[in-house]
Structure formats: C-alpha cells, structure tokens
Structure 1
Amino acid sequence: MKVVRLGVIGLGNMGKGHLNYIAKGEVKGVEVTAVSDSVPDRLQWAKELLGGQVGVFEDPRQMMDSGLVDAVLIATPHYSHPELAIACFERGLHVLCEKPAGVYTKQVREMNEAGGKANVKFSMMYNQRTNPLYVKLKELIDAGELGEVRRTNWIITSWYRSQSYYDSGTWRATWAGEGGGVLLNQDPHQLDLWQWTISMMPKRVRAFCYFGKHRDIEVEDDVTAFVEYENGATGVFVTTTGEAPGTNRLEISGDRGKIVIENNTLTFWRLRVSEREFNKQFKGGFGEPECWKCEIPVKGSYPDHKGITQNFVNAILHDEPLIAPGEEGIKGLMLSNAMLLSTWTDNWVDLPIDEELFYEYLQERIESSVYNKEAQTK
C-alpha cells in the first residue's frame, strides 16, 4: 500500500475540519476516497471540496462495504463511536476515532476487545498528546526528574460556553443526545493527559458534579473531583463551562520538586536534594530544601490534529508506533464515568468502576432526557 484510502464518517464541525486539512495535502500518504453523513448538503459540500472524486454514502456501512476505503475516521456523535468502530474492525478496516472513545466504559471495552481481535491500526484523536508542553512533561516524569509523584492538580475552567452555544442544537448537553457535559465534551483531552503524563490511574475517586448549575442544561457543567493513587499520591480536578475568565493550570508535585504548566510555559521548581533525603538529614527545625526555579525550554512544533492523523497514516504504511493507541481511550472515559458515578451514589468509587451500575444510572437519565422525549414525539 502506497496511499491510505480514507473514508470519513460524520461531516459536522470536526469532520469538516479534518477533511479540509487533508484536502489541502497537509497529511502525506492519505487520500479521502469516500465520505458518509445523513445530511445531503454535507455530502454535496464534500464532493465540491474534493473535486467530485469521492464516494458519498448516507449509510456508513455501505461506505465500509464499498471497497473504496482502507481506513475510516469516525467523527460522529459520541454514542455511535464504539458501534461504528466495531463495524469497521469486523471488515478489517483501520480506525481513527474522534474523542471521546464513547459515553460509557462498558461499550468502549467491547470496542477495545473487537479492535484487539482485528489485525488493524486503531488510534484515538488525542491531538494534545502532540503538544510539546505535555510531551516534555511526560519525558521529565518518565526520566525520574520529578521523583515519585505525590500530588496532581488540574484547574481547567477555560471552557466557557454561553447558553446560546447549548441552544444551537437540541442534542447538546442532554443525556440522550450527548451523554454528558463538560467531562465528556470539553475535558476528554485533559482527562487523558492527566493520566498519560504521569503513567498512573487513580485507585479511587470522590467527586461532586453539578448539573445545570450555570446553564439551562441537563448535564454536568461544574465539577470538583478528588482522587487517590496506589502510591499514596492524591489529586484534584476542577472544571466548568460557566466561569470567566477561566484558568488552565496543571501542577504536579513530586519528591524532587514541582512542575507547573500554565500560559503555554513549563516551569520546574527543582529541589537540589529530594524532599525525602532532606527530611531524613535536616536537624535545624525550620527549613526546607534549596529550590531552583527552572524555565524548561520546550522545543518543537505542535501539529495538533494533523499530527495524530499523520501518525495514524504512518502506522498503516510504515508500522510507526501510535501516539494515541485506541485502546487507551477507555482511561480518560473511566475517570469521567467515575466522577459522575461518585456524584450519583454520593460515595467513593473504586477504579475500575462498576460498569453495570454506571450503565443503569445513565439509562435512568436517558429515559427522562428532554432530547429523548422530543425524539419520541416525532
């Protein structure tokens, strides 16, 4: 194979965005040969963009069976991601899936199992894993520069959304239409990076989610979560779509200091000796380890979505290691599911979560969802 023949399912905002940069030749070794969407106007737009040399399908499975594609990029509403990915795997097609991996981990686990049985490449569109800031952070932690991680704190409140944003689609911010709020729509990247950069998942979560606190919506728009890790470390995750101005600050403390990412800068407050060693030897009462403030140079470009797409294509053509393997999509979703389940049960939630219990609680909310009721009346 010299060129990957790519099919794109879903031509909403994200699908169109991917199609635009691929059509401009900004990803090498790939050609969009087919598209699928239920809206005829979107299919016509794609035909005009690609010069008419593209198969168009209202039914995504017909596109999968057309023989026109080797790989599929899924950019549809959240609930359909696992179902469509599994259909691709059954046909031996490579899959690049938009975030989130799905709405609940039970369906994503089924997707991962199907992907594991298929001899194909499977990647998630975790484009922020290509951001040099987080690449450098992971590199420092993996190399032991920070020592053992002791605390993680992420305040990500820069996701401001007005009521008009939510009113722009009847499916938005509903349990039946979208499956969640800020945790599922805005935060999948941060939840992924939170565990990816430190190579640790929490062992349990206690969260407080507020539903429709700032906007007239069904789902969570304000969240504060506390987590505990197996090594005794703790963490806090704070997010909302109703705060302005917002903050995006990640702070990770370890035995050898702390690292902060804020305002596109990575700062390392590095201890000359580890806190553990200082505490063992210091006898002077008041005092603390000598600390150096280091502005860490972060080099390299940020290829964003194009970087993940190029990596996916390279993996198919040249067996390049995936930056964001598809099976890892369940990790960030596990965190958001745990936060919701903790709120619904008003208790701690151990990881991995009780997937059947989460599914039951979610189904209750889907049944009473405004979007579901509107669909039933049509």
Structure 2
Amino acid sequence: MNQDPIRIGVIGLGNMGSAHAGYLARGEVEGAVLTAVADPVAARRDWAQEQLGNEVRTYGSTQELIASGEVDAVLIATPHYAHPEEAKAAFRAGLHVLVEKPAGVYTKQVREMNEAAAASGRVFSLMYNQRMNPLYRKMRELIADGELGELRRINWIITDWYRPQSYYDSGGWRATWAGEGGGVLMNQSPHNLDLFQWITGLMPSRIRAFCGFGKHRDIEVENDVTAYAEYANGATGVFITSTCDAPGTNRLEISGERGKLVAEDGKLTFWRLRVPEPEFNRDYKGGFGSPETWRIEVPLPGGDPQHHRAVTRNWVDGIRTGAPLAAPGEEGIRGLELCNAMLLSTWTDGWVELPLDEERYLQALQERIDASSSRKDPAAAGARLDVQGTH
C-alpha cells in the first residue's frame, strides 16, 4: 500500500477540468493532492494561480507538466481528440491516468491508448461518473444476480439534452467534425452509451441507426438519433437521444423473462413476474391471460452525490491500495464503439456488424473532418487535434 499522497496534475482547465482541480485543491479526495495544472490559455492559468493556491504549479502545455516531476498521476480534461495522445504520453512517463469522457473520438485511437496503458502497468480509469450513480448500480446488480432472467429488450429514450443554437454558436469548434468529432453521441450521451452496455453486460451483434445531422439547428454533426440494436441471444434494443426535444425524457426500460426494470425521475421500479414468462407460457391453458405481476419500488443505497469526485477517489484508491476500479479505462472503447457504429450505419445507410470495422469508420470520419467548417475557423485551431497526424 502506498502511504504517501498521490500527486495529481490536471490537464485542461475548461469547465470540467476546473471542477476537478477545485475539489482536489480543497482536499476532498483522501490520499490525493493537487500539485500542478496545465492549459495553453493564459487566462485559465491566471485563474488557477488565483483560485487553487500557490502550492499548485501551472504549465502552458501537457508536455511541460508531464516532464515536470511534480506529479504521479494526471487527470486529462482536454478536447476529445487529444485524450488518447495525451494519455499515451503520460503512460510513457510512468504516470497513472484518469481520462474525462469520451475515451476518444474513434475506436482505433482508443485501442492504441488501451495497449499503451496495459504495457505501462499504471492505473488507468475513465470519468464514467454515472457508474457511481446508485440507480444504475442497483440495476446492474439486479441483472447480474439473475433477477430478470435472460434479457429480452433494452429501451432508452434520453432526450433531456436540450441545447439552443446559442450554445452551438459559443465556439467555432463546437458541433463540428474537426472540433469535437461528433454531436449528441460524442458530447452529451457517452455516459448513456456506456451504461447501455455496462448495466446489462451485453454488447450488440449489429446496429441500424438513423442520425439527423443539424436537425432544427445550424450545425454539421448529429443532434437527433434513433438506433436499433440486435443481440446474439435474440434480445433487441432501442436507443433514442436528441438535443432539440423540449421537454425531454430520460427513461430506461430493461425487460427479461422475469419482468422489467424501469428507471425514470431518479426512481427504480421492478415489475416482477410471480412466474417467469417461459414457464407461464408453457403451463397456462386459459387463452387470454398474462403472468401475475408485482410492482416493487426498489430502495436505492446512498453514496457520494458528487459522482465525478467519487470516480476520482476510486482511481486514487486503485493507485494506493489496488482497489478495483469502477470504471477501468480500457472499457471506454465499448460505448465509443456503439457511437461509431451508429454514425457509420447512418453514413452507409445500412446495418453495421460488431466488432466495428475501424478502418472503414476512420476513413468516413476523415472525409467529414476534411470538409468540416471548423477547419476554416482560426479560433478553433487550438481547440482540436489534427486527426490527419494521428493515424
């Protein structure tokens, strides 16, 4: 067990990076101390010097922070394209790594990051903070314990991501292929795509998706998605998300042989069959009829309401004591593969088999990056990674 505090550096001081730096500087993660931050924007470094204390060193680049000797671990909260490259640089320097969502923009670069993590032997986690939400943890627990039996259907409508045009106009890199690499799937829904497979333990065998690009908004990326998934056991799934529904909905429903779980409005309801459906179907001779159903309001355990901080604490515990990770970094590729498959299905107007053809996706993405509006915006140049140089 490592008794010394883990010296952490935060790379990127945008909205999320600043929040992470704040709770670390306030000492809210036991066994960790914030010792350095990095951001290329001078105003953000000035903010850090004013708000985080004189003990925290500031750097103008990722490379300077990594080479400083001031940190044992880094929390990366930079633009999406940069995540894998910066993580690999940290692994090469022998540092532990926690990456903000998404793991990256396309699975090929994330797979390379995973390989670098494995070779380094360092502790690698991903900021999938919704894995710490008691609601979703309880759903996963019930399914893993067999309470639903074999799964048959997964439906998630997650449309409470409303974003007006002014949000997209706030930065030339926003909602562009070169700036963010995608829209609602890449920016708002990575947690949901992760949970879609993490809660059930199932990845689809193929996906057919219909993405609306710039639907009701003047943007180039997807902001309205309906996807249909098929699984090897015969189960099906539907994933619907949007940034232009008002009011939106967040309802996750998972059905199996023994009933269904419904998560909505922060509550979990278990509609439990007294007799499993296959058994009822086999034995019932009355014509019309259905299994007796019990409605159970499932009590949820407590936990740290600040789920981001909880993931960071879990990562630090993993470094210090070898505690199991709630969100191993290597698992970030799964939700991203769903995202990539949904986009590729729309672009090709057909089914996409999983595992994903990574080269085919990368080629299709590159075509859109080359034509992206943010390529023409000098203000966006510092906010994105030139993907042409990463493959």
Judge same fold: TM > 0.5, yes or no. yes
Residue 346, structure 1, aligned to residue 349, structure 2: yes
Counterpart residue number, 2:241: 239
Distance 2:62 2:147 in 1: 48
Preserved contact between residue 36 and residue 63 of structure 1 (Cα < 8 Å): yes
Cα deviation digits, residues 303-338 of structure 1 (max 9, x gap):
310100000111111111000000000000000000
Cα deviation digits, residues 48-87 of structure 1 (max 9, x gap):
2222112211121111011100000000000000000000
Q: Pairwise mapping of residues 70-219 of structure 1 onto structure 2 (< 5 A)?
A: 70-219=72-221
Q: After TM superposition, give the deviation of residue 376 of structure 1 in Å.
A: 10
| CA 37–285 in structure 1, closer or farther in 2 if over 3 Å, else same | same
Distance 1:72 1:324 in 2: 16
Q: Pairwise mapping of residues 304-343 of structure 1 onto structure 2 (< 5 A)?
A: 304-343=307-346
Preserved contact between residue 205 and residue 339 of structure 1 (Cα < 8 Å): yes
Preserved contact between residue 171 and residue 380 of structure 2 (Cα < 8 Å): no
Counterpart residue number, 2:255: 253
Preserved contact between residue 337 and residue 356 of structure 2 (Cα < 8 Å): yes
Distance 1:271 1:264 in 2: 23
Preserved contact between residue 100 and residue 127 of structure 2 (Cα < 8 Å): yes
**Count, aligned residues:** 378
Distance 2:357 2:322 in 1: 36
| CA 112–60 in structure 1, closer or farther in 2 if over 3 Å, else same | same
Q: After TM superposition, give the deviation of residue 373 of structure 1 in Å.
A: 2.0
Preserved contact between residue 179 and residue 380 of structure 2 (Cα < 8 Å): no
Distance 1:312 1:60 in 2: 20
What amino acid is the match of 1:370? S
Q: After TM superposition, give the deviation of residue 297 of structure 1 in Å.
A: 0.7
Counterpart residue number, 2:268: 266
What amino acid is the match of 1:20? G
Aligned to 2:69, which of 36, 55, 67?
A: 67
| CA 377–37 in structure 1, closer or farther in 2 if over 3 Å, else same | closer
Preserved contact between residue 130 and residue 191 of structure 2 (Cα < 8 Å): yes
TM-score normalised over the length of structure 2: 0.95
Distance 2:136 2:380 in 1: 47
Preserved contact between residue 173 and residue 380 of structure 2 (Cα < 8 Å): no
Distance 1:299 1:115 in 2: 33
Instruction: Give % identity.
Output: 64
Q: After TM superposition, give the deviation of residue 299 of structure 1 in Å.
A: 1.7
What amino acid is the match of 1:319? G
Cα deviation digits, residues 208-266 of structure 1 (max 9, x gap):
00100121000000000000011000000000000100000000000000000000000
Aligned to 2:289, which of 287, 290, 298?
A: 287
Counterpart residue number, 2:25: 23
Q: Residue 193 of structure 1 aligns to a residue in which SS?
A: helix
Preserved contact between residue 127 and residue 305 of structure 1 (Cα < 8 Å): yes
Q: After TM superposition, give the deviation of residue 377 of structure 1 in Å.
A: 11
Distance 1:214 1:305 in 2: 32
Preserved contact between residue 47 and residue 53 of structure 1 (Cα < 8 Å): no
TM-score normalised over the length of structure 1: 0.98
Distance 2:173 2:263 in 1: 34
Distance 2:82 2:116 in 1: 15
Q: Residue 52 of structure 1 aligns to a residue in which SS?
A: coil
Preserved contact between residue 35 and residue 55 of structure 1 (Cα < 8 Å): yes
Distance 2:99 2:23 in 1: 17
Counterpart residue number, 1:371: 374
Counterpart residue number, 2:388: none
Q: After TM superposition, give the deviation of residue 206 of structure 1 in Å.
A: 0.1
Distance 1:31 1:225 in 2: 43
What amino acid is the match of 2:65? M
Stretch moving more, 32-41 or 51-60: 51-60
Preserved contact between residue 97 and residue 125 of structure 1 (Cα < 8 Å): yes
Q: Residue 190 of structure 1 aligns to a residue in which SS?
A: helix
| CA 196–72 in structure 1, closer or farther in 2 if over 3 Å, else same | same
Counterpart residue number, 1:296: 298
Q: Runs (4+) of structure 1 moved beyond 3 Å? A: 375-378
Preserved contact between residue 131 and residue 303 of structure 1 (Cα < 8 Å): no
What amino acid is the match of 1:9? I
